[in-house]
Amino acid sequence: MNSLVNVATILRKELSSYFNSAIAYVFIFLFLIAASAYFFLFPPGFFEANRAEMRKLFEGLPYAFLVLVPAVSMRIWSEEKKLKTFQLLMTLPMRPGEIILGKFLAAWAVLCLAVLLTFPFPLAIEVLADLDWGPVAGGYLGAFLLVGAYLAVGLFVSGLFENQLISFVVTLVVLVVLALVFHPRFLIGAPALADLLVPLGVVGHFEGIARGVIDTQDLVYFVTVMLFFLGLNRYTIEAHKFG
C-alpha cells in the first residue's frame, strides 16, 4: 500500500509540473496540429483518398513520436540534475523504482492524452461514412503502447545525462534504430540480418495492432521494452544515488 501511495505522490507532483506550466499544453497543441495536417492535408489527404479509415494517422505515429517523445522525456531526469533537486529527491522515503514509475506514468498520461484528443477524427468520419471501429480501437491501443515503449527509452536516457539536448539527441538516435534501422524495408537487401533484427523493431509490432489484429507477441514485445528500459533506468538511478 505504501508503494502505491508513493507512486501516486510522484505521479501527482509530475502531472502538476506538466499542467501548471506550458509544457503539456505546448506539446499537445503541436502534436494535434501536426496530426491534423498530416491526416487531412499531406498527400494523399483524407478527402483525396476518399476512404473511411484512420490507417493513415496511425501509420504516421511511429515517426512523429520519434521527435515528440524525446522532447517530453529529455527533461524528466536531466532537469532534476540541472536544478540540483536530484539528490533531494533521492532522500525521500521512497524506493527509486517508485519514483521512476510515478514519473513514467505521469509522462505517459500526457502522451496518451495527446493521442486521445485525436478521437474527434474517427467520430467525424463516422458521420460521413460507416467506419470499421476494430482497426480504430487497435490503432489507439497500439499508439498507447508505442508511446509507452518510446518513453521508457527516453526516461532511461534522461537518467544518464544532465544536459537536456544530449538526452534528446541520444533518445532520438535509439528510437530511430528501433523504428527505422530495424524496419523490414531498411533491411530488404539482407534477408538473414532481417530475420534477426526485424522482430526487435517497433514498427512491425505496432502495425499489427493498428490493423486491429491483437497478437500476444506484439503485446509482449511492448511490455518487454517498457520493463527492460525502466529496469535499466532503475539501475542507473540507484547507481547515482549510492555512487
The DSSP line for 64-100 is HHHHHHHHHHTTTTHHHHHTT-HHHHHTSSS-HHHHH
Region of residue 212 (phi > 0: left; psi between -120 and 50: alpha; otherwise: beta): left
Task: Quote the domain boundaries for residue 12.
Answer: 2-242
Region of residue 50 (phi > 0: left; psi between -120 and 50: alpha; otherwise: beta): left
**What domain count does the chain have?**
1
Task: Locate 119 and state its grid cell.
Answer: 478521437
pLDDT (average), residues 78-102: 88
Question: What pLDDT shows up at residue 52?
Answer: 67
pLDDT at 46 over 70: no
In this prediction the pTM is: 0.92
What are the tens digits of pLDDT across the range 54-84? 888 898 899 999 999 999 999 999 888 888 8
What are the tens digits of pLDDT across the range 191-215? 777 777 778 889 889 988 988 888 9
Tell me the C-alpha distance between 166 and 40, whole Å: 34
Tell me the C-alpha distance between 230 and 149, whole Å: 10
Which residue, 73, 70, 79, is CA-closest to 162? 79
